[in-house]
Amino acid sequence: MNTEQAETVFVIFGSTGDLAKRKLFPSIYNLYRKGNLTDKFAVLGLGRRNWDNETLRDVVKESIVTEHGQDAASEAESFLNHFSYMPFDVTNRESYQQLGDQLAILDETFQIPGNRIFYMAMAPEFFGLIAQSINNEGLKETKGWSRLVIEKPFGTDLKSAIQLNEEIRKAFSEDEIYRIDHYLGKEMVQNIQVIRFANGIFGPLWNNRNIANIQVTSSEQLGVEGRGSYYEKSGALRDMVQNHMLQMVSLLAMDVPLQLSTDDIRSEKIKVLRALRPVMGETISKNVVRAQYSEGTMNGERVKGYLQEENVSETSHTETYVAARLMIDNHVWAGVPFYIRTGKRMAVKSTKIVVEFKELPLNLYRKEEKQTGPNLLIIHIQPDEGITIVLNGKRIGSADTTPVHLEYRHDSEDRVNTPEAYERLLFDCMMGDATNFAHWDEVSLSWSLVDAISNAWEKSDKVLASYEAGSMGPKEADQLLEADGNSWWPVENM
């Protein structure tokens, strides 16, 4: 590790919010206790609340205790001394001037060589203003580097994303901008490339000659949980498909990069997104399903439907579930459907990828009394982490065949020591590694696809599908695959 890279000031806009408390503070602490942060660092929290240093430190301590238990409180005292707080008005020029003075003090106090990470953990409508104010007030004029970390959503459609990008690019270059997608920090999402490019058994098979279809599922048991006002503006399409789901598709479909560098990996992902077949007009209903959860039973208890949730309109057409058939028009994937589905209030919490391989053209064992199934590669992303390979084998003591599951799962010790997604991504940002952050071209291409779907839905008079809370989605999503002679693999039983 380059220790000079790790010597930095984290400037967190929105440090009084939930994201900072649940994710950022524990992640920075984990980096510190593992030695990935030296004592030459500082965290400066900014927010509208009239807090002081001690108030922020109490909140940080609480978040550490929640994560690691009461014993961590005494161990964290030296860590907490690196935290300070400033009440801040993002619209006030004087606030930025005071910020500059405080950053100079922190650099001197903790011997930091002018390295700065500006983290936007607040309302996205202020991102452009903050970025330009940082630049205009000279907060980037140091001997070190400056990086801007932006949370999703990056815009609400392609038009707003372009406008936001133009505003930010006036102050920061593309290589200084880190658009965070926490899915790209997950252990098994990052493992996709290793599985594909470090194993000779998969390389020759990873194409349309051998793969029948790929299914990506991200299901949640939770509902909107008091976030109705946000979700009404977002919906599952913008909240999950535009970023998380399409990022996983691009990792699964990308060609082998020249080398494992940020630019080469991003280049191959961008090629995939450019090759996605447009979904628009009449093709929408044949390729995309949107639905909304109704009342149902979760863990033995009745739960309300989306229309009964707080801050949700009784006539809302916001989708809480999306399933889609995506086609990639290039020589590697032509003809192979990529099925994606994501939704709230579903039967299980699960993020899984199922790669279904084509069966042998002449399978001697595929007879009615000796049925065999396709070989599968299952990548378990959450809550379990690992991979499963499903083969056909002989049943012991019989001539019949049976599916054989070859499993690799991270054991409990591995999981305890596995960096949380935000921890890993913060470390990558310190090291200047943008591989697992979204490039602007990825963002714009994914918004192009999502906008076409959204626009078609707005013009459509088709009734929104419904699914019962506690189910795995609407029947229309099953029919989407049945039209191709396929079906969803049951992620809850894998």
Phi and psi at 405, nearest 5°, equal -100, 120
The 10s digit of each residue's pLDDT in 88-129 is 999 999 999 999 999 999 999 999 999 999 999 988 889 999
Average pLDDT over residues 51-66: 94
**Per-residue model confidence (pLDDT) at position 416:** 47
Q: Which two tokens stand for residue 377?
A: 């590669």
Burial class, 137, CB count within 10 angstroms (exposed 0-12 / middle 13-18 / buried 19+): middle
Q: 419 falls in which pLDDT band (50, 70, 90)?
A: low
Report the DSSP beta bridge partners of residue 439. Answer: none
Query: What's the first-to-final CA gap in the chain, in angstroms?
Result: 38
**Per-residue model confidence (pLDDT) at position 412:** 47
**Per-residue model confidence (pLDDT) at position 413:** 45
Average pLDDT over residues 473-491: 96
Q: Which two tokens stand for residue 114?
A: 């002018």
**Per-residue model confidence (pLDDT) at position 367:** 57
**Per-residue model confidence (pLDDT) at position 3:** 65
Choose the weakest-confidence range: 41-55, 136-150, 233-247, 355-369. Answer: 355-369
Q: Is 68 a catalytic residue?
A: no
- What secondary structure letter does DSSP report for 185? G
CA distance 183 to 199: 23
The 10s digit of each residue's pLDDT in 308-331 is 999 999 999 999 999 999 999 999
Phi and psi at 182, nearest 5°, equal -65, -20
pTM over 0.85: yes
Mean pLDDT, rounded, of the chain? 92
* 445 close to 273: Cβ distance less than 8 angstroms: yes
CA distance 142 to 135: 11
* 149 close to 429: Cβ distance less than 8 angstroms: yes
**Cα 458 to Cα 455, 461, 491, distances in angstroms:** 5, 8, 32
The 10s digit of each residue's pLDDT in 363-408 is 666 655 456 789 999 999 998 899 999 998 888 877 778 889 999 9
Instruction: Give the position of tokens 């499903």.
Output: 390
**By C-alpha distance, which of 418, 458, 110, 442 is closest to 254?**
442
Q: In the predicted model, is pLDDT for residue 288 greater than 70? A: yes
CA distance 452 to 158: 10
The single residue of 244, 331, 380, 410 carrying the catalytic annotation is 244
**By C-alpha distance, which of 315, 159, 317 is closest to 235?**
317
Q: Residue 260 carries which side chain, given as an amino acid letter?
A: L
The three-state secondary structure class of 246 is helix
**Per-residue model confidence (pLDDT) at position 411:** 61
- What secondary structure letter does DSSP report for 364? T
**Per-residue model confidence (pLDDT) at position 198:** 93
**By C-alpha distance, which of 94, 90, 169 is closest to 137?**
94
Q: 257 falls in which pLDDT band (50, 70, 90)?
A: very high
* 380 close to 352: Cβ distance less than 8 angstroms: yes
The three-state secondary structure class of 47 is strand
* 311 close to 287: Cβ distance less than 8 angstroms: no
